Structure 1
Amino acid sequence: MELNLERIKKAQENIKGVARKTPLFYTSTFSNQCDCNLYLKCENKQKTGAFKLRGAYNKLVNLTEEEKQKGVIASSAGNHAQGVAYAATAFGVKATIVMPVTAPQAKVTATKGYGAEVVQAGQVYDECYAKAVELQKETGATFLHPFNDLDVMAGQGTAGLEMLEELPEADVIVVPIGGGGLIAGIATAVKSIKPSIRVVGVQPEIVASTKASLEKGQVVTLPGAKSLADGISVSTPGDECFKYIQKYVDEVVTVSEDEIALGMFSLMERNKLIAEGAGASTMAALLAGKIDGIKGKNVVALISGGNVDIATVSKIIERELVLLNRRIRFTVELQDKAGTLGALISEVGNMGGNVVTARQNNNWNKKGLDFADVCFEVTVQSQEHGEEIIKSLKENGYLVEVHK
């Protein structure tokens, strides 16, 4: 038994009519920024919000009736959970999913909504995997591995077939790596069709287990770490996956947590795409200039999933606005009399600033009861725009203190 193009094409037939053929579109904004012809393969638009449905459904198709009757059990940081839950319900099979206690609530709620029983255990994927193995021994259910399985890898590889069907002139494909099932399937598919194509994997630098394994020439285990890219925070790559990664993947690069956050923010702002950390890791690598040799090339970045808590999205936006100097904080000394605060807010608004908060710190300041210090948070269009607003306020006689 091996993973090959024939097996991946069979998987494509198996999932036809169930998994969506997700959009592949050209982005001029990021093409200009990254100096290449960049296309985004949007698996965040897949059913269940991620690519995992492909592999999970293909695995269910290949189970025997006896295996289905025993029910299935899986471990997952969230996306495999939803894929298995969806597929199991479609086949009328009982599903139990073990997820980390740190899994985003959106993923936990969605998994339950697709019909699975959820057990939460451990902080990272590897810990919940151990709990799932324990439960499997107790119940006799059929274990569905999230990545280290040929049927799962074949299902994930169908995304690669779609890329080349729509963009046969692709030169480089960039794929997130957790346990390795996605990149193993995609790399096997695309290299079998077009050997000249380059496949680059992306991992969080705080848990780059596949990169470390490639450097050592064998599977290694790194200490567990919680990344913003929770879906690819895997300490040990699958040994079956690793065989195909060694054979077909050209390079693995890493990205920092800050780079992942910027990738998420940039996709939201410029392409109106919600991507989880793992899904945005490919964009993070490209924006950070981590991938060499792409100038003028046709590059496909896989956006692997979009299942992220809205609270996390809010934090990312707030954080990036501050880091990019597009949310400024400053204190202004005002006369404590009617109309002065309203006049200042109007003045900031007329200059294109959006006042988010305005808070009076005290009823008076060091000058006495007739003056007050008011702290502002203002969203601006750019760092230069913010500097212009501060400069204008000072020129108009306001005493302004800028906070970093």
Structure 2
Amino acid sequence: MRIDDVRHAADRIAGRVVRTPVLRLPELDARLGATLHLKAELHQLTGAFKIRGALNKLLSLAPEARSRGVVAASSGNHGQAVALLAQMLTVPAVLVLPQDAPAMKLEAVARRGARIVTYDPVRDDRDAITARIAAEAGLAVLPSSDDPVVAAGHGTVALELLAETGRLDRLVVPVGGGGLAAGCATVAKALYPGIEVVGVEPADGDDTARSLRAGHRVHVPAPTTLADGLRHQSPGRFTFEVNRKLVDRIETVSDDEIAAAMGALWTHGRLMAEPTGAVALAGVLARRPDARGLRVGVVVSGGNVDSEVFRRIVAPHVGEQEAWAVPGALR
């Protein structure tokens, strides 16, 4: 994958996705002694960056393949993106979702008319289920990350960010399947070879960190982290090869550190990030002296979280009064 692939993706999806804002939070900067540029993908269509890669892949399919329909496995956000695109482009869609996915994500997929097949994330192999459905129904598989076309679409996040900020000292991204990190690292290293690219994973879900230490892809037990979008058990084949060449290091964060980052985004910017969306900032906050004096890009990857769930998570970090200010929280 090259930066030109990401530029082609940007042209292909232009006008169909949101060019999300890059936000500055001066109080947070002062707290860190750094200059943060937050790429707010929680303001993207369907509330997360996933629509970028899904749309790039869907539009790259031959018309006859697209008309037959697609099947996709997802923890929720990719599923929402595929369901919306299928509705917009009149494409039949089947979504393979974990039975413990957040209710709001399941409801969003169902509302857009996609057929849902659920699986047990502990016992079932979702990729095998997806492959079986694709073979039986003649559907194209729409991967969430482990695909060069999907990863190129995700890389448009960094392309937009760096077009607005110019040179940064560091780019911090969450790592799940690795497509966002691979796409963003491809762009960042091509434009600014000296930039440091840091991936952040939950400590309970550190498959990429372990794989990089081992020098090959490893499998971890089913994670239970708050960051439901990062409960991967092994990095993707394609994305792992890109990330081990271009990502400088992987940091891991606890659920409490993720919750603290959600609280910081709410307190300083009234940004209601989902746990997965706050993971990159959690990595910065957990090692705050390491960012002092630097210009840092941080991808806030999504905001699909129920308001009452959000309130319960952030309350210990912002105080009850601030937590009750969350729109829609039960009182």
Q: TM-score range by the shorter chain?
A: over 0.9
> Which residue identity does 2:226 align to in structure 1?
L
CA-to-partner distance for each residue in 1:91-117, whole Å, 9 max, x for gaps? 211011011111111111111223322
* Relative contact order higher in (CA < 8 Å, ≥ 6 apart): 2
Q: Counterpart amino acid of 2:36?
A: L
User: Which shows bigger deviation, 221-230 or 51-60?
Assistant: 221-230
Partner Cα distance (1:318, 1:185) in 2: 34
Percent of matched pairs sharing the same residue: 39
Q: Which residue is equivalent to 2:47?
A: 49
Spell out the pairing of 1:27-46 with structure 2 (5 A cutoff): 27-46=25-44
Using the alignment, how far apart are the partners of 1:168 and 1:71 within structure 2?
Answer: 40
Determine which structure has more spread, i.e. the larger CA radius of gyration.
1
* Corresponding residue for residue 240 of structure 1: 238
Opposite residue 297 of structure 2, the aligned amino acid is: V
Residue in 1 aligned with 2:200?
202
CA displacement, residues 244-279 of structure 1 (integer Å, 9 cap, x when unaligned): 101111110000011111111221122100111110
Paired residues of 2:96 and 2:130 also in contact (CA < 8 A): yes
Partner of 2:149: 151
Aligned-partner SS, 1:190: helix
Once the two structures are TM-superposed, the CA of residue 291 in structure 1 deviates from its matched residue by 7.7
Partner of 1:304: 301
Q: Distance in 2 between matches of 1:281 and 1:142?
A: 31
Match of 1:184, as an amino acid? A
CA contact under 8 A between 1:74 and 1:144: conserved in structure 2?
Answer: yes
Which runs of 5 or more residues in structure 2 are unaligned?
325-331
User: What are the within-5 Å matches in structure 2 for residues 142-221 of structure 1?
Assistant: 142-221=140-219
Note the alpha carbon deviations across 1:72-106, whole angstroms, 9 max, x for none: 00000011101111222222110110111111111
Question: What are the ranges of 5 or more consecutive residues in structure 1 without an aligned counterpart?
Answer: 328-352, 357-404
Structure 2 SS opposite 1:115: coil
Q: Is the 8 A contact 2:32 2:288 kept in 1?
A: no
Give the drift of 1:29.
1.4
Q: CA RMSD in A?
A: 1.9
| Alignment equivalent of 1:78, drawn from 76, 79, 83 | 76
CA contact (8 A) 1:278 1:305 kept: yes
Q: Which of 41, 66, 69 lines up with 2:67 in the alignment? A: 69
Contact 2:50–2:81 (CA under 8 A) maintained in structure 1: yes
Once the two structures are superposed, the pairs formed by residues 276-287 of structure 1 within 5 Å of their partners are 276-287=274-285
- Separation in 1 of the partners of 2:83 and 2:260? 31
Question: Which of residues 233, 257, 265 in structure 2 aligns to 1:259?
Answer: 257
CA distance in 1: counterparts of 2:126 and 2:47, whole angstroms: 21
* 1:129 maps onto 2:127 in alignment: yes
Offset at 1:141? 1.1
Residue 127 of structure 2 aligns with an amino acid whose one-letter code is Y
For the residues of structure 2 that align with 1:209 and 1:32, how far apart are their CA atoms?
33
The equivalent position to 1:93 in structure 2, one of 76, 91, 94, is 91
Q: Which has the higher strand share?
A: 1
Q: Give the Cα separation in 1 of the matches to 2:130 and 2:289.
A: 36
Match of 2:57 in 1: 59
Query: What are the Cα deviations for residues 111-149 of structure 1, in whole angstroms up to 9, with x where unaligned?
Result: 122332222211369743332223223222111111111
TM-score by length of 1: 0.77
- The answer to whether the 8 A contact 2:260-2:314 is kept is no
The alpha-carbon distance between structure 1 residues 219 and 54, as it changes in their structure 2 partners (threshold 3 A), is same
User: What do the CA deviations read for 1:292-323 (whole angstroms, capped 9, x no partner)?
Assistant: 3x2211101100000112231121133435xx
How many angstroms apart in 2 are the aligned matches of 1:250 and 1:124? 31
Q: 179-188 or 302-311: which moved more?
A: 302-311
Distance 2:217 2:94 in 1: 28
In structure 1, C-alpha distance between the alignment counterparts of 2:85 and 2:213, rounded to whole Å: 36
1:26 positional shift? 1.5
Alignment check: 8 A CA contact 1:37 1:296 kept: yes
Equivalents in 1 of 2:123, 2:20: separation in Å? 27
Secondary structure of the structure 1 residue equivalent to 2:96: strand
CA distance in 2 between counterparts of 1:12 and 1:76 reads 23
Q: Which amino acid aligns with 2:302?
A: G
- 1:121–1:128 contact (8 Å) kept in structure 2: yes
CA distance in 2, matches of 1:45, 1:168: 22
State the secondary structure of the residue aligned to 2:72.
strand
